[in-house]
């Protein structure tokens, strides 16, 4: 069975020449981050901040149900979140 890659949260400082800004984005690893989000300037710093951003699967489920998402949609989204992000809590 192939090991599933968990996505992680990265914080980057980007120097776009006339602006410097900070973003938080999700990616498989730092190389994937650079590939996905590069092109808007120079990366000054990239930090893995996954541990600072836990996501509650239960809270996501409740929010989706409150917005009247169907059972199948809720299950699919919560499953994808739980199997794909490295810091899911219940």
pLDDT digits (tens, 9 = 90+) for 13-59: 999 999 999 999 999 999 999 999 998 889 999 999 999 999 999 99
Q: Is residue 65 part of a domain?
A: yes
Q: Which of the residue ranges 1-5, 11-15, 55-59, 70-74 would you say has the lowest mean pLDDT?
A: 1-5
Q: List the end-to-end C-alpha distance of the chain, in Å, as a whole number.
A: 26
Query: Are 36 and 70 within one domain?
Result: no
- Cβ(10)–Cβ(48) below 8 Å: yes
Query: Are 73 and 46 within one domain?
Result: no
Measured distance CA(60)–CA(53) in Å, rounded: 14
The reply to whether the predicted model has a pTM over 0.75 is yes
Query: Are 61 and 42 within one domain?
Result: no
- Three-state DSSP at 43 gives strand
With left for phi above 0 and alpha for psi between -120 and 50, is residue 4 left, alpha or beta? beta
Residue 1 has a pLDDT of 45
- In the predicted model, is pLDDT for residue 3 greater than 80? no
Query: Are 48 and 60 within one domain?
Result: no
Question: In which domain, by residue range, is 80 found?
Answer: 55-89
């Amino acid at each position: 069975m192939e090991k599933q890659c968990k996505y992680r949260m990265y914080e980057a400082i980007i120097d776009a020449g006339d602006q410097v800004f900070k973003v938080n984005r999700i990616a498989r690893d730092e190389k994937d981050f650079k590939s996905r989000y590069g092109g808007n300037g120079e990366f000054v710093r990239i930090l893995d901040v996954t541990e600072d951003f836990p996501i509650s699967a239960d809270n996501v489920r409740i929010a989706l149900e409150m917005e009247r998402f169907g059972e199948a949609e809720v299950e699919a989204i919560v499953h994808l979140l739980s199997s794909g992000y490295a810091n899911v809590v219940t």
